[in-house]
């Protein structure tokens, strides 16, 4: 087996671990927490499905999908940090950067560099592609919370303003989705799913 | 909320069920069976990673990824049919077509038609994109079997010739991957993972 293919197979084998990294979100049927691999599939498909809601239609969808497919791989080493866990945010970027170097470092150099660059682009959220990808990553757990009666929100005592603060960046690029999400948050408060 | 977005959200909610459709394959750590959503994430990323091994390099990767993202959604209604279950193959296409109509039918008409066409293209395996997508769908469970010491193969008493028959179509488009897979099958027989 040639050396490039050997490295690619090792990477495919290693990233299987993403299926064992569990998040705070529950499946829509509330039966269990969802894991990062499932979450990633879901938001990659959402990025395709919801593209028409971008106010600027110039997004490179393939780039968005690639970014999403690898955005959580660092959690294989660094673990999932709950969005509303303030303590967990300390040193998070350093932990994740070390993870990115190890995991993408399994690949041939050109592929390592491509994935590392996409992961950094996602983290920095400066391009339209990365803002759109991040929007999917924020909207999906919000839908899961809303449609499970706020199960994870309630377990962690999350308040509406903290949820609102995390989606405010949608306003400019994705006005329709921003309105939808605002409506869901308001309704969640009304239904008692989310602390006012 | 506008009608299009409403349909898209219902679809996103419905397809969450893919995370509860379990396959015969085990995770690489053998801890449990994997589900269709995890499998789909894995092979969509593989399609990007292994593109260079295509002898004809004209594949449309975005199209391949879209095809893969939806290829197993029909199993929400039709269930997973084990590749080596001959009885399960009877009436499979009819069951899956009914599922495709219901599930994709939740979407706005243009998106329903796009996804239905991609699913059919995948099933018919006539284009380079669909053959490449199908190759990922075959190689991934083979890797999972190989790296778990043939756990699912052994549980079902699968013989090497049946595994070989399922990957013979790789030979033309993906000679490197075909050689790799042949080597893994031979070694699996030698190690006693797979019946000769």
Residues with Cβ within 8 Å of B126's Cβ and at least 6 positions away in sequence, in order, are: none
- Cα distances from A65 to residues A61, B144, B194, in angstroms, run 6, 24, 36
Q: What is the pLDDT of residue B82?
A: 80
Cα separation of A159 and A192, whole Å?
Answer: 11
pLDDT tens readout for residues A2-34: 899 999 999 999 999 999 999 999 999 999 999
- Specify the higher pLDDT residue, B156 or B83: B156
Which band of pLDDT confidence, cut at 50, 70 and 90, is reported for residue B1? low
Residues B43-48: what's their mean pLDDT?
98
- Picking from A13, A40, A147, the nearest residue to B147 by CB comes out as A13
Which band of pLDDT confidence, cut at 50, 70 and 90, is reported for residue A81? confident
Question: Per the CB < 8 Å rule, is B69 touching A31?
Answer: no
- Percentage of chain A beyond pLDDT 70 is 99
Cα separation of A196 and B175, whole Å?
Answer: 60
Q: What is the pLDDT of residue B35?
A: 98
Name the β-bridge partners of B195.
B159
- Picking from B38, B40, B180, the nearest residue to A5 by CB comes out as B180
> What is the SS3 string spanning B62-111?
HHHHHHHHHCCCCHHHHCCCCCCCHHHHCCHHHHHHHHHHHHHCCCCHHH
Q: Which residue of B has its CA nearest to A35?
A: B38
- Cα distances from B143 to residues B43, B83, B170, in angstroms, run 11, 15, 15
Enumerate the residues of chain B whose CB falls inside 8 A of the CB of residue A66.
Answer: 48
pLDDT at B115 over 70: yes
The single residue listed with the structure tokens 């030698």 is: B190
Domains, in order of start, for chain B: 3-191 (1.10.3210.10)
Residues A110-132: what's their mean pLDDT?
97
Q: What is the pLDDT of residue B85?
A: 77
Which band of pLDDT confidence, cut at 50, 70 and 90, is reported for residue A85? confident
At what angle are helices B109-124 and B61-70 packed, to 10 degrees?
Answer: 100
Tell me if B68 sits within 8 A of B38, measured CB to CB.
Answer: no
Q: Does A5 touch chain B (CB under 8 A)?
A: yes
Start-to-end C-alpha separation, chain B: 59
Which band of pLDDT confidence, cut at 50, 70 and 90, is reported for residue A162? very high
Q: What is the complex's ipTM, to 2 decimals?
A: 0.96
pLDDT at B182 over 90: yes
Q: What is the pLDDT of residue B81?
A: 81
Query: What stretch of H or E contains A23?
Result: strand A22-26
Cα separation of B105 and B114, whole Å?
Answer: 11
Q: Does B106 touch chain A (CB under 8 A)?
A: no
Q: What is the pLDDT of residue A82?
A: 80
Q: Does A106 touch chain B (CB under 8 A)?
A: no
pLDDT tens readout for residues B117-126: 999 999 999 9
Enumerate the residues of chain A whose CB falls inside 8 A of the CB of residue B41.
Answer: 18, 37-38, 40-41, 44, 69
Query: What stretch of H or E contains B33?
Result: strand B33-35
Q: What is the pLDDT of residue A190?
A: 98
Q: Number of residue pairs across A and B with CB atoms under 8 Å?
A: 120
Which band of pLDDT confidence, cut at 50, 70 and 90, is reported for residue B94? very high
Q: What is the pLDDT of residue A1?
A: 57
- Picking from A11, A41, A183, the nearest residue to B41 by CB comes out as A41
Q: What is the pLDDT of residue B77?
A: 96
- Cα distances from B182 to residues B83, B116, B125, B136, B168, in angstroms, run 18, 33, 21, 15, 9
Question: Per the CB < 8 Å rule, is B180 touching A42?
Answer: no
Task: Show the DSSP H helices in chain B as ranges.
Answer: 3-14, 36-49, 61-70, 75-78, 86-89, 92-104, 109-124, 128-147, 151-156, 160-167, 170-173, 175-191
Residues A43-51: what's their mean pLDDT?
98
- Picking from A31, A40, A50, the nearest residue to B41 by CB comes out as A40
Question: Per the CB < 8 Å rule, is A183 touching B1?
Answer: yes
Ramachandran region, residue A130 (left: φ > 0; alpha: ψ -120 to 50; beta: rest): alpha
What is the residue-averaged pLDDT of chain A? 95
């Amino acid at each position: 087996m040639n050396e490039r293919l050997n490295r690619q197979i090792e990477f495919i084998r290693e990233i299987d671990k993403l299926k064992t990294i569990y998040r705070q979100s529950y499946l829509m049927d509330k039966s269990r927490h969802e894991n990062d691999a499932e979450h990633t599939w879901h938001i990659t498909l959402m990025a395709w499905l919801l593209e028409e809601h971008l106010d600027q239609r110039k997004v490179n969808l393939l780039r968005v999908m690639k970014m999403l497919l690898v955005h959580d791989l660092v959690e294989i080493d660094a673990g999932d940090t709950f969005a509303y866990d303030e303590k967990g945010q300390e040193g998070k970027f350093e932990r994740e950067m070390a993870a990115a170097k190890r995991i993408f470092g399994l690949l041939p150099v050109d592929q390592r560099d491509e994935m590392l660059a996409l992961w950094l682009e996602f983290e920095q959220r400066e391009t339209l592609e990365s803002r759109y990808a991040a929007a999917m990553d924020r909207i999906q757990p919000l839908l899961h919370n809303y449609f499970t009666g706020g199960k994870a929100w309630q377990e962690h005592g999350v308040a509406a303003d903290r949820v609102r603060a995390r989606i405010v960046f949608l306003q400019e690029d994705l006005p329709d989705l921003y309105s939808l999400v605002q409506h869901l948050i308001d309704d969640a408060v009304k239904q008692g799913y989310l602390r006012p």
